[in-house]
Chain A
Amino acid sequence: MILYFVYKNVAFGLTLFYYELYTSFSGEVLYDDWYMTLFNVLLTSLPVISLGVLEQDVSSEVCLQFPSLYQQGQKNIYFSWSHIVGWILNGVLSSLVIFLANIYILSPAAFKEDGHVADLTHLGAITYTCIIWTVNCQIALIISHFTWIQHLFMWGSILLWYIFLFMYGALPPSYSQRGFRILVESLGLVPMYWLVTLLVVVVSLLPYFTHIAVQRLFYPMDDHVIQEMKYSGKDVVDDQMWQREQSNSKKMTQVGISARIDARIRYLKDNLHQKKASLYRSVSPIFRSLTSSPMFYF
């Protein structure tokens, strides 16, 4: 969830920086102020919240049957440096695809059949639409436990963007600035708008899709294996294998807080023994001879 947050903000923020290359670094912003304000507040926050609250990679009964899954947190498997860098790179790649596709497709030729050319307002709105779609479809690829809430938030966020654009455009030009009538007049019925969105979403999500497909096929994690077993019904069909896997996952571990506590207790006990032994040896010669025998240690 944290890494997704990093990803979406990297994907969004970098497009703004790339645009500065084309404005001779004057500081002109690609998007309208309201678009940028709503990005993290309304349009991409709800799916992440639903991911954090409702996501279950395996169900609760299975979790209890497979305690070794807990080690994924202890060993920091999902928050290792390779994961962090991977997600940041995913964000960079997405931002590059989104930005470059929009820049090169929408200019300099006309984007509508009636010969109109895309200007700053259109480029901003279309790029922003691509970002919203990409980021929300990305979270759809991450979620493995889809409830109606997640669907509502994800697709609702995208729909909310269009509703906002429509209502923002309906305000007088002094309020809506760049967004005045942009959806109804310039973008809504233009095939190019929808085609660009589709292309950009597919191309920016392909690397991640390939990555998870490769991972699940060739390097599956423990929870992927369990998910697949549950999905194909192997836990019912091949009960022996299911039980064997459960007992495998219940072995004593060398990691985690209980293991560390046990090790600490052993260490302190050893220390106590040695201190007692040295104390007795210094006090009495009889005990000295006694403690030298291995029978003393119990």
Chain B
Amino acid sequence: MDVDEGSSLDTIGDQSVPQHSRRCKAFHQFTQQSLPACKPVLTPKWVSSWRTTICEGLFLKMFFTVFGYLQVVEIVDRYDAECIPEAYKSNKMAYIKDNSIPKNCSQFLKVYKRMKAPIYIYYQLDNYYQNHRRYVKSKSEQQLLHGLGSNDTSSCKPQESNNGLPIVPCGLIAWSLFNDTFTFIRGKSELKVSRKNIAWKSDRDHKFGKHVYPFNFQNGTLIGGGKLEPSIPLSDQEDLIVWMRTAALPSFRKLYGRIEEDLDTDDVVVVKLMNNYNTYSFGGKKKLVLSTSSWLGGKNDFLGAAYVFAGSSCIFVSLVFLLLHTKIPGN
């Protein structure tokens, strides 16, 4: 690195001021553009050393991430199409909107690799725009924290009140609460599923009131989703809390619960689910996901692939550079 100290032009100005303070000198350096500086120059040596460092770093990261992801086991099962009875396959809307038709369904999941506890259960929705602007706006944070006492529920329209009475929790997000349920059976016994601590702690403690109870919820003519137990405060209604965290993309997963037992290879898990939620009217899809996790989270091939791509393209360009530089030396 080339380091420039203050230039010799400094001394011309300094002669009139024999004793100058450090601040005066610093100000002088600043105004004369003679601050101490380093001027790195991108020589071929630096280019190749930077590239090598970057490539090595990328490759290391690549190995770590791929190694991490290889350990994650994920089972995805789409059930919304299969769970429609034969009679209603051509008229899904009638099926889903009719409360008298039983919505039970069974799915069989085969575990292809040993899954260690905790195994996370997610429900995945596709083509569901929870990130739509009007939808995201349609809730009242004040009301979620303070309940009936808050007046600021205008953003919740049209799900603000019903029959003159306010709705708690108001808004479209709460109104469209996901209400499919899942139970898991392996062999003869039911697997233990924990439905606690699935929401973010900051939400449970600070955004949803401990003394706020559902009121006048899903009482209207148009039912949008699940109902809430009126005796449980909102801070304990973890399904609601998880659902209210609007997803970023049209295809998203939300945490349903955790299986606290290991699943061995070739285990068959029978999922008894209730296919309550209507995704048929807009062409949405519902999937059930069972996944373990690593230090990086769930199964995501993209990160490993991205690092492989970046690392290998880096190496390739470095080799090309080396070749060109040895063939055509710089001036």
Contact B299 A173 (CB under 8 A): no
Contact B306 A105 (CB under 8 A): yes
Interface-facing stretch out of A227-235, A266-274, A278-286 = A227-235
Q: Which residue in A104, A117, A123, A217 is a CB contact (below 8 Å) of B330?
A: A217
Closest to A206 in B: B314
Proximity bits, A205-231, B CB within 8 Å = 1, else 0 = 010011011001110100001011011
User: Taking the complex as formed, is A115 at the interface, i.e. its CB lies under 8 A from any CB of chain B?
Assistant: yes
A269 to B258: give the CA distance in the assembly, Å.
Answer: 94
- Which of B294, B298, B310 is most buried by chain A, counting CB atoms within 10 A of its CB? B298
User: Taking the complex as formed, is A111 at the interface, i.e. its CB lies under 8 A from any CB of chain B?
Assistant: yes
Interface-facing stretch out of B105-113, B220-228, B247-255 = B247-255
Interface-facing stretch out of A2-10, A24-32, A83-91, A287-295 = A24-32
Contact A191 B310 (CB under 8 A): no
User: Taking the complex as formed, is B116 at the interface, i.e. its CB lies under 8 A from any CB of chain A?
Assistant: no
With a cutoff of 8 Å between Cβ atoms, the chain A residues found around residue B131 in the complex are 22-23, 26, 28, 120
With a cutoff of 8 Å between Cβ atoms, the chain A residues found around residue B295 in the complex are 113, 191
Proximity bits, A233-258, B CB within 8 Å = 1, else 0 = 00000000000000000000000000
Closest to A122 in B: B248
Taking A109-B298, A113-B297 as contacts, is the C-beta distance between A60 and B328 under 8 angstroms?
no
With a cutoff of 8 Å between Cβ atoms, the chain B residues found around residue A30 in the complex are 248
User: Taking the complex as formed, is B75 at the interface, i.e. its CB lies under 8 A from any CB of chain A?
Assistant: no
User: Taking the complex as formed, is A263 at the interface, i.e. its CB lies under 8 A from any CB of chain B?
Assistant: no
Which residues of chain A from 111 to 134 have a CB within 8 Å of any chain B CB? 111-124
A85 to B296: give the CA distance in the assembly, Å.
Answer: 38
Q: Which residue in A109, A186, A217, A227 is a CB contact (below 8 Å) of B324?
A: A217
- Which of A54, A148, A203, A225 is most buried by chain B, counting CB atoms within 10 A of its CB? A203
Contact A28 B136 (CB under 8 A): yes
CB distance from A223 to the nearest CB of B (A): 11
With a cutoff of 8 Å between Cβ atoms, the chain B residues found around residue A202 in the complex are 54, 57-58, 310
User: Taking the complex as formed, is B67 at the interface, i.e. its CB lies under 8 A from any CB of chain A?
Assistant: no
User: Taking the complex as formed, is B165 at the interface, i.e. its CB lies under 8 A from any CB of chain A?
Assistant: no
Contact A147 B36 (CB under 8 A): yes
User: Taking the complex as formed, is A38 at the interface, i.e. its CB lies under 8 A from any CB of chain B?
Assistant: no
Contact B249 A117 (CB under 8 A): no
Main secondary structure of the interface of B (DSSP, over half): mixed
- Which of B131, B251, B258 is most buried by chain A, counting CB atoms within 10 A of its CB? B131
CB distance from A4 to the nearest CB of B (A): 17
With a cutoff of 8 Å between Cβ atoms, the chain B residues found around residue A220 in the complex are 330-331
User: Taking the complex as formed, is B104 at the interface, i.e. its CB lies under 8 A from any CB of chain A?
Assistant: no
A14 to B310: give the CA distance in the assembly, Å.
Answer: 23
Contact A180 B331 (CB under 8 A): no
Q: Which residues of B line the A interface, CB within 8 A?
A: 2, 4, 7, 9, 33, 35-44, 47, 50, 54, 57-58, 61, 65, 74, 118, 120, 122, 124, 129, 131-136, 141-142, 145, 200-202, 206-207, 245-255, 258, 291, 293-300, 302-303, 306-307, 310, 313-314, 317, 321, 324-325, 328, 330-331
> Which 10 A-B pairs give the minimum distances between C-beta atoms?
A109-B298, A110-B298, A115-B120, A123-B248, A28-B133, A231-B41, A26-B133, A181-B202, A104-B302, A110-B297
Q: Given contact pairs A120-B245, A173-B145, enumerate 16 new A-B contacts (beta carbons under 8 Å).
A: A23-B132, A23-B250, A26-B131, A28-B131, A28-B133, A56-B33, A103-B249, A105-B302, A109-B299, A173-B206, A202-B310, A203-B306, A203-B310, A212-B42, A225-B331, A231-B43
Q: Which residues of A line the B interface, CB within 8 A?
A: 22-24, 26-30, 54, 56, 59-61, 101, 103-124, 144-149, 172-174, 177, 180-181, 185-186, 191-192, 195-196, 198-199, 202-203, 206, 209-210, 212-213, 216-218, 220, 225, 227-228, 230-232
